[in-house]
Amino acid sequence: MQFMLLFSRQGKLRLQKWYVPLSDKEKKKITRELVQTVLARKPKMCSFLEWRDLKIVYKRYASLYFCCAVEDQDNELITLEIIHRYVELLDKYFGSVCELDIIFNFEKAYFILDEFLLGGEVQETSKKNVLKAIEQADLLQEPRHEYFNVPVY
Amino acid sequence: MMTPSLKLQDLIEEIRGAKTQAQEREVIHKECAHIRASFRDGDPLHRHRQLAKLLYVHMLGYPAHFGQMECLKLIASPRFSDKRVGYLGAMLLLDERQDAHLLITNSIKNDLNQGIQPVQGLALCTLSTMGSAEMCRDLATEVEKLLLQPSPYVRKKAVLTAVHMIRKVPELSNIFLPPCAQLLHERHHGILLGTITLITELCERSPAALGHFRKVVPQLVQILRTLVTSGYSTEHSVSGVSDPFLQVQILRLLRILGRNHEESSETMNDLLAQVATNTETSRNAGNAVLFETVLTIMDIHSAAGLRVLAVNILGRFLLNSDKNIRYVALTSLLRLVQSDHSAVQRHRPTVVECLQEPDASLSRRALELSLALVNSSNVRAMTQELQGFLKSCPPDLRADCASGILLAAERFAPTKRWHIDTILRVLTTAGTHVRDDAVANLIQLIGGAQELHAYSVRRLYSALAEDISQQPLVQVAAWCIGEYGDLLLEGSCEEIEPLQVEEEEVLALLEKVLQSHMSLPATRGYAFTALMKLSTRFHGDNNRIRQVVSIYGSCLDVELQQRAVEYNTLFRKYDHMRAAVLEKMPLVERDGPLVIEEAEESKEAQLSEATPIPTEPQTSKLLDLLDLLDDDTEDAQHLAPRDPSPEGALGHLLNLPCHPPALYQTLPPIPNLQVFEREGLQLNLSFVRPSEIPALLLITATATNSSGSDVTHFVCQAAVPKSFQLQLQAPSGDTVPAQGGLPITQLLRILNPNKAPLRLKLRLTYNHFGQSVQEIFEVNNLPLETWQ
């Protein structure tokens, strides 16, 4: 995988994970163009499109678009499964996740993603293991909120 | 007293509360100022909070480079919260382009070596996301050590970090290849998955590695088999499929190992068949595995039966209600259509149905695939389907569809008539989208099918009468009408209903095209030339045509104007040549331009009259004209440079050079002379003396017949004094039809080097009113200008 972007229906970026080295300017340009392209797609269209020399796999969950750029030899259908697994993980962690959770806890979204994918590849296929790892890490965080053992910034 | 810094979530609330972009900017600028101050003052307690806020505004698009150094400080801190945010910041703000990135190498090294797993995890994650080549070189040994650590959590990350390192520094493959064998024995799915990914990366980069790992094919087959046959596992199953991620990765590695290797391919054959038949297909996860299996089967040396099975799976995918599945099926079938053509052919009906897909990316693939499946046995049916598609397809596919149909028609047309019909239909439906050479191709095709001339011209005439807006169609129709106008008038053609067409109607239609604002300049050129050609095909008095021609002599379009002037000259001074110049075109060769260029030069040579022309002007073999005239090249130099005609080579043929009028303009025109009249038959002489060759006199003898009876077997002979040289060219015919029918013209060339007074004797023989007539007489009253 080359990168993953999460954005709202208004085109606001909620998460950007880049697995290839690009300048800030290039990232902004790609993001802008891709967001525009995906938002222009009609609801009945399929989840795959060709963009530049990449394959784009995207899926909308409620008000958020999950968009991945994969290479030519990558399997689009399994990429859909990767997106779905990530959504499931977020859902399990936040309890019925919604866009606001991702906005207010964006750093958590990154931490969870980083336990599922590494360097653009799947590192852990067990949901249980991923969530356990996040829990462990959360426990190590200091300081803690007074009443809930949840790290607070 | 320092104000306590905003909590992250509070800042986010504040930003979201901003009503306008300007307000948001204000909030952010204010907060960034605080953050900057906080960084300057060095507040270790809240540094992680400040950076987190900074990362948030960075995602909104605001600059955050001043946080880079803070990332370093946070990573170096012993506190986990600091490290977590610090590493996240490094991944978001630092990359190999900044020199600062190297500074975290040491911290990463330390974190890799200390024992707390989550910390090691952070370090490995960061290294594999933004690690540059230098960093990878520096830290390769640390990562190698971690491959053998007891904790699966760390090992799985170490393996994937190794993958990243090899991508950045391929030489590191040497370090990471040896551990693979042992790692392959892992039971932990994460480590196994990482290992398979690592082996894949190694094999893709080095043929030596590829050879080395072929020996693990049996082991891979075993792992996959266990996965497939094992029952449901809460931990790893997705929609009834055991760890589809791992299955797909193994299948991909098997593909790479089995490619071009008979033995390995054989080892995996059974397993692939098993996966292909047993995988659950109701949900996407199963289909993802099935898809990868198909790709592997098609890429290795699989048994024929297995290949057919794979293509059939794709065929089934085409019927799946999930359009994503249909998409991958169409894409894959497109890749296979060359190598496994007959297997894919079996699914042709389904593919054709996919043309109706509302999603443009699917219908585009369906179109490409459909075109690839056309062959000589299904061409009629397929063309029908594709023509239907052409009518309703989205505009961006029109051009491809039209060219595709035309190409298929060219390759597989069962009959010429079908071919012409097909092109006609395409031009009518999608005329504006066809490629430029479609017009030339169709003209060439029609020209070559002599038996279909009448048919073609009728069809085209009807199409044109209905609609003059589709330019390629109009161009072809105009050309055809010009060429075969006589066939159009004949009335009956066995293949289509009789069509009664009057000359006036045809001329009116062409004039309409000429005047229409929808017609492109090229189209008007075609129509104009067609009109001119009809002057010899039709039997009317050409007044209408002459009128149009003279009007366009002052047309603003330079191309049209030039033609009009030339045609006008053709009417007035070279009427005897008109029939020859405008006669039916010979078949243009496919590499036509060469022939046409030579023909042009010959035409120019003809008109410049520098040396005797031994051949008849009516000759139908253009190439014969090339035999004449030593002065060919010289004459070519005298010509004004010609603008390239926009409509292509065919137009050039009738582009008569326009300089003859210029050459002759210096001399006042010599008046015509009527030399003979008997019972309605008249003979007129017109004279021309080219200024370049004062000794030359050109006489055009025109015989007209206003009587009620035809004049036939007309022959005119001439004689001149000895000092003159006379050459008589072949007449345009030997019949002058009654009531002002088409006159006979004949050219006489007289060379008078001594400037002696001209004397001319004529002998006429012909049949008129049922009687044969002979008349011999000397021409009196020859104007002085003819010899002085």
Q: Which residues in chain A are closer than 8 Å to B59, comparing Cβ atoms? A: 13-16, 106
User: Which of B5, B10, B51, B157 best probes binding to A when mutated, by most A CB atoms within 10 angstroms?
Assistant: B157
Across A57-71, B102-116, B516-530, B603-617, the highest mean pLDDT is recorded for A57-71
Asked if A15's CB is within 8 angstroms of B81's CB, the reply is: no
Residue B133 at interface with chain A, using a CB cutoff of 8 Å: no
Check pLDDT > 60 for residue B644: no
Q: Which residue has the higher pLDDT, B295 or B497?
A: B295
Q: Which residues in chain A are closer than 8 Å to B164, comparing Cβ atoms? A: 119
Tens digit of each residue's pLDDT (9 = 90 or more) over B421-475: 888 888 888 878 887 777 888 888 888 877 888 888 888 888 888 888 888 888 8
Residue of A nearest to B96 (CA): A21
d(CA B189, CA A125): 7
Model confidence at A106, pLDDT cuts 50, 70, 90, reads: very high
Residue of B nearest to A130 (CA): B153
State how far residue B1 is from chain A, nearest Cα, in angstroms. Answer: 22
State how far residue A47 is from chain B, nearest Cα, in angstroms. Answer: 6
Asked if B60's CB is within 8 angstroms of A123's CB, the reply is: no
Residues in A 80-99 with any Cβ partner in B closer than 8 A: 80-82, 84-85
Residue B200 at interface with chain A, using a CB cutoff of 8 Å: no
What local confidence, expressed as pLDDT, does residue B606 receive? 42
Whether B258 and B224 have beta carbons less than 8 Å apart is answered as no
Check pLDDT > 90 for residue B4: no
CB pairs under 8 A between A and B: 166
Q: Which residues in chain B are closer than 8 Å to A118, comparing Cβ atoms? A: 124-125, 128-129, 157, 160-161
Residue B16 at interface with chain A, using a CB cutoff of 8 Å: yes
Check pLDDT > 50 for residue B541: yes
Residue A19 at interface with chain B, using a CB cutoff of 8 Å: yes
Across A43-57, B461-475, B564-578, the highest mean pLDDT is recorded for A43-57
Check pLDDT > 50 for residue B594: no
Residues in B 622-661 with any Cβ partner in A closer than 8 A: none
User: What 3-state class would DSSP assign to B199?
Assistant: helix
Mean pLDDT of B725-752: 87
Tens digit of each residue's pLDDT (9 = 90 or more) over B249-274: 999 999 999 998 999 999 999 999 99
Residue B301 at interface with chain A, using a CB cutoff of 8 Å: no
Least confident piece of the model among B74-78, B199-203, B567-571, B583-587: B583-587
What local confidence, expressed as pLDDT, does residue B588 receive? 65
Of B61, B358, B361, the CB nearest to A49: B361
d(CA B210, CA B25): 55
The DSSP bridge partners found for residue B748 are B699, B728
What local confidence, expressed as pLDDT, does residue B513 receive? 87
Q: Which residue has the higher pLDDT, B358 or A101?
A: A101
Instruction: Express as a percent the part of chain B with pLDDT over 70.
Output: 88
The DSSP bridge partners found for residue B761 are B719, B778
Mean pLDDT of B112-127: 94
Q: Which residue has the higher pLDDT, B617 or B328?
A: B328
What local confidence, expressed as pLDDT, does residue B286 receive? 94
Residue B12 at interface with chain A, using a CB cutoff of 8 Å: yes
| Length of chain B, in residues | 788
The region, left, alpha or beta by phi > 0 then psi within -120 to 50, assigned to residue B541 is alpha
Q: Which residues in chain B are closer than 8 Å to A151, comparing Cβ atoms? A: 81
Asked if B121's CB is within 8 angstroms of A44's CB, the reply is: no
Of A84, A106, A125, the CB nearest to B236: A125
What local confidence, expressed as pLDDT, does residue B3 receive? 59
Model confidence at A15, pLDDT cuts 50, 70, 90, reads: very high
Of B16, B128, B359, the CB nearest to A45: B359
pTM exceeds cut of 0.80 = no
Of B12, B125, B248, the CB nearest to A118: B125
Asked if A114's CB is within 8 angstroms of B95's CB, the reply is: no
Whether A45 and A103 have beta carbons less than 8 Å apart is answered as no
Across A122-131, B423-432, B641-650, B771-780, the highest mean pLDDT is recorded for A122-131
Check pLDDT > 90 for residue B138: yes
Residue B60 at interface with chain A, using a CB cutoff of 8 Å: yes
What local confidence, expressed as pLDDT, does residue B130 receive? 93
d(CA B750, CA B728): 9
User: Which of B5, B87, B129 best probes binding to A when mutated, by most A CB atoms within 10 angstroms?
Assistant: B129
Tens digit of each residue's pLDDT (9 = 90 or more) over B212-246: 999 999 999 999 999 998 877 888 988 889 999 99
Residue B361 at interface with chain A, using a CB cutoff of 8 Å: yes
What local confidence, expressed as pLDDT, does residue B593 receive? 38
- For residue B144, the Cα-to-chain-centroid distance in whole angstroms is 53
User: Which of A80, A124, A131, A139 best probes binding to B when mutated, by most B CB atoms within 10 angstroms?
Assistant: A124
What letter would DSSP give residue B356? G
Q: Which residue has the higher pLDDT, B182 or B43?
A: B182
List the structure tokens of B129: 């996301």
Residue B77 at interface with chain A, using a CB cutoff of 8 Å: no
Check pLDDT > 50 for residue B645: no
Check pLDDT > 50 for residue B750: yes
Closest by Cα among B168, B197, B167 to B180: B197
Of B129, B248, B327, the CB nearest to A48: B327
User: Which of A125, A126, A129, A141 best probes binding to B when mutated, by most B CB atoms within 10 angstroms?
Assistant: A125
> ∠A39-A45-A46 over CA atoms, to 5°?
105
What local confidence, expressed as pLDDT, does residue B668 receive? 65
Mean pLDDT of B517-546: 85
Q: Which residues in chain A are closer than 8 Å to B190, comparing Cβ atoms? A: 123-126, 129
Model confidence at B619, pLDDT cuts 50, 70, 90, reads: very low
Check pLDDT > 50 for residue B610: no
Q: Which residues in chain A are closer than 8 Å to B118, comparing Cβ atoms? A: 133, 136-137, 140
What local confidence, expressed as pLDDT, does residue B664 receive? 37
Tens digit of each residue's pLDDT (9 = 90 or more) over B462-501: 888 888 888 888 888 888 888 888 888 776 666 667 777 7
List the structure tokens of A92: 């399990």
Check pLDDT > 50 for residue B737: yes
What local confidence, expressed as pLDDT, does residue B643 receive? 39
Residue B49 at interface with chain A, using a CB cutoff of 8 Å: yes
d(CA B778, CA B316): 94
- For residue A92, the Cα-to-chain-centroid distance in whole angstroms is 15
State how far residue B245 is from chain A, nearest Cα, in angstroms. Answer: 7
Tens digit of each residue's pLDDT (9 = 90 or more) over B165-212: 999 999 999 999 999 999 999 999 999 999 999 999 999 999 999 999
What local confidence, expressed as pLDDT, does residue B689 receive? 84
Tens digit of each residue's pLDDT (9 = 90 or more) over A111-132: 999 999 999 999 999 999 999 9
Instruction: Express as a percent the part of chain B with pLDDT over 90.
Output: 40
- Burial of B244-255, coded b for 16+ CB within 10 Å and e otherwise, reads bbbbbbbbbbbb
Strands (E), B101-256: 237-238, 241-242
Model confidence at B599, pLDDT cuts 50, 70, 90, reads: very low
Residue A39 at interface with chain B, using a CB cutoff of 8 Å: no
Strands B711-719 and B771-778: unpaired
Check pLDDT > 90 for residue A10: yes
Q: Which residues in chain A are closer than 8 Å to B5, comparing Cβ atoms? A: none
